[in-house]
Amino acid sequence: MFNLTNVLRPYAWGSPTAISTLLGRTPSGGPEAELWLGAHPDSPSLATAPDGSTKSLDALIADDPDGMLGADARTEFGDRLPFLAKILAASQPLSLQVHPTLAQAKDAFAREEAAGIPRAAADRNYKDDNHKPELILALTNFDALCGFRPATQSRAVFKHLSDLFEQVEEAFPQLLRDVISDLSAAEGSEADESAAIRAAFQRLITGGNEVTDAVSAVVTALNASRAAQPTHTAYLRELSTVISLNGIYPGDPGVLLSLLLNRVSLKPGEAIYLPAGNIHAYLQGLGVEVMASSDNVLRGGLTPKHVDVPELMKTVEFRALPVPRITAGSTELGQEIWQPPFREFQLQRAILEPDRPPIPLAQNGPLLVLAVTGSVILDSPRGDLVLAHGDSAFVPARESPVNAHPVSGASGAAVVYAVTVPAPAPN
């Protein structure tokens, strides 16, 4: 087993304290947005062997793929760690974004490589050739925008805005009248609804200055209406989101696009999963995020970064969907497992009570482990590894099975999160 030293990504939206508080570390002093646990070539973890030697996790796997990943994972995913785990701490919204399918990522990555676009270029869309299905488990209250809601609901919010404009005697922008008529075409089949959502989305993302002006008019009207009627609470959460997004990205198309999306509030322990094509934005909160090992993101707003509208329109799935919540199943041995409908990963949480039998961690091939509360002993047939609060480890396939238990004399429960590939389907 290998101790890991993980890379911290200091994106501007990151909380300066949430990750260090969770892991018992000294804050860096700047924003701490994401801690990456994995072998993605852009920020691989550094693995320390029991003899003290170190190697980056991607190199360690490349040197002994069979021992590290196991034959099944190699056959299915090739010689790379199939998943990437992150602790994500947002004090401001992340960009509105969508991730490609596997086929699309393979094609588009090859195309950008062939065109010679440098990987770090601002207009480069595809960082690798993989898809990026993801899951986020909230550790604090966690807010997000996630997938399209039914067009009738979005239409009702825009109609409500038009009423507010009337009350404060402002002219309702023509662009937003057109959005209402786009969404009105949703009556009928699912295909009609998808076409209506696509039309409204396209109008808002390609509207240029007209959109900037509409965002500004909406925020002015909302503020005037709130001043006149402070107790007015219809669509409070959606409209408060519009105002707070505009405070950070004034005039950005994402401010109004947010009204087309499900507005989700997760409590600690609740999770959602996001397949390819699901447009989403995390707004604030601390969570454990797991994904296929990829950094392929197409942005649609709420960002100063490159937005490639044609590529985005090809990637977004324009379909109203319920919020893709996922609950954990519990094993007989006491851990909870979140298993989204993806091949690359599952997430488990084991709560290790003192004086209780050890919990055998679910492991299919490679395993990442992170101790977030208390100290933990990982006990494998090839030796033990102690993880202090905040420490993490990579357990090679060949060192399975691992039992986890708190250090002796621990006063309270220890908590570990662990990521592995899903169990093979029963025959």
Residues carrying an active site annotation: 299
Q: How far is CA 130 from CA 56, 84, 277, 293, 296, in A?
A: 20, 12, 14, 7, 7
Q: Give the tokens for residue 291.
A: 């994904």
Give the amino acid at 88: L
In whole angstroms, give the CA distance from residue 161 to residue 242: 11
Tell me the C-alpha distance between 47 and 38, whole Å. 10
Residues in the chain: 427
Q: In DSSP terms, which residues pair with 289 in a beta bridge?
A: 86, 136
Cα(125)–Cα(191) distance, integer angstroms: 29
Cross-strand partners of 98:
298
DSSP code string of 154-173 = HHHHHHHHHHHHHHTT-PPP
Sign, CA dihedral 402-407-412-418, equals: negative
Q: Provide φ and ψ at 403, rounded to 5°.
A: -100, 140
Q: What sign has the CA pseudo-torsion 308, 98, 288, 72?
A: negative
Query: Can you tell me the distance from the alpha carbon of 333 to that of 209, in angstroms, rounded to the nearest whole number?
Result: 58
Please state, as a whole number, how many other Cβ atoms lie within 10 Å of the Cβ of residue 118. Answer: 9
- The strand ranges marked E within 95-239 are 96-98, 134-138, 142-148
Provide the 8-state DSSP code for 362: P
Q: What are phi and psi of 153, to 5 degrees?
A: -70, -45
Q: d(Cα 8, Cα 392) in Å, to the nearest integer?
A: 14
Reported as type and span, the H/E element at residue 113 is helix 102-114
Closest-CA residue to 104 (of 318, 306, 317, 340): 317
Return the C-alpha torsion angle 53, 55, 59, 64, nearest 10.
20
E strand or H helix at 350, and its extent?
strand 346-352
